Amino acid sequence: MIYLFTALYCEASLFIRHFHLKKNPKNIRFQQFYNETDDICLTVTGVGEIAAAAAVSSVCIEHRPSREDLLLNVGICAREAESDGIFLCNKIFEQATGKTFYPDILYRHGFCEEMIVTEMMPYAGGAFDDIVPSSFPDGALHDMEAAAIYQAGSYFFGPHQMIFLKLVSDHGMSEAVSPEQVTCLMEAQKDPLCDFIRQLLDFASEHANREHGLDPEQEALYEKLCADLHCSKVMGDSLRQHLRYFALTGMDVDSVIQKMYGEGMLPCKDKREGKLRFEELKRRLF
């Protein structure tokens, strides 16, 4: 199941039409649409962190996502740089608290990656030198929901199960962007957006048709890597998901791992080093 969250109906309308989603008459708190055949549940949260967190919590408490499900947040954002397009968020910074979150990007994609800053008010241009100046690259994205969706979602999903896609709608003039313009912007990016969601659905379907666990050889590799990387529970779950994914794609994971052992990068001396080596493993596999 893909749990899809948008802040606005005009962001959701493309997916409602394309995936033939039907309105859920029972959900009176939020607008919700679903397609049981395609396993999509779309919820319009409303604007802002409180609304977004409330919607994610409400949906997940009712449906209880499994470790095979995905959370997908799609919506518009502002960008400091003048370039537009679709971006996959690899880092989320919450302006109000100074907290930083890192979605674990597992799936292959054709989007540019960028950091996003979640703020209480619409981005109006300018820098934030009084907060954390080194945290804001020139092309940082800005929205009002991502950090809240990540934090609420983390009670039900692992970092490898949460994906954030943002479309640039403006560069600090959000009040000039109408719902009609958002609808047109989403429609213009219909193919890459819907193709990516279809890719996620196909992967989930193929995964569901196979055994959820690893085979004995993969399980032995997983156990060894867990020990040598000093994995926490969350990191171990992410490692298992990655091994499942690469097993389905037919990639020769074992040779990549053995090369890291040969280079002296494994085993690790502590959890801190283990996190760095896990990131290096993912970089080599992707």
Query: In the structure, what pLDDT confidence band is assigned to residue 234 with cuts at 50, 70 and 90?
Result: confident
- Residue 119 tokens, joined: 């703020």
pLDDT value at residue 133: 46
Question: Burial code of 169-195, b = ≥16 C-beta within 10 A, e = fewer?
Answer: bbbeebeebeeeebbebbeebeebbee
Comparing 245 with 221, which gets the higher pLDDT? 221
Residue 135: pLDDT over 60: no
CA distances from 263 to 72, 163, 256 (A): 37, 32, 11
pLDDT value at residue 210: 55
Mean pLDDT of 47-71: 94
DSSP 177: -
Question: Out of 79-83, 152-156, 186-190, which region has the weakest mean confidence (pLDDT)?
Answer: 79-83
Residue 138: pLDDT over 80: no
Q: How far apart are CA 247 and CA 252, in angstroms?
A: 8
Helix (H) / strand (E) element for 220: namely helix 216-229
pLDDT value at residue 207: 62
Q: How far apart are CA 31 and CA 33, in angstroms?
A: 7
pLDDT value at residue 241: 80
**pLDDT per position as a tens digit, 176-224:** 899 999 999 999 999 999 999 999 888 777 666 554 567 788 889 999 9
Q: If we measure between CA atoms, which residue out of 48, 92, 84, 107 comes closest to residue 167? A: 84
Q: If we measure between CA atoms, which residue out of 202, 165, 205, 199 comes closest to residue 185? A: 165
pTM for this model (two decimals): 0.76
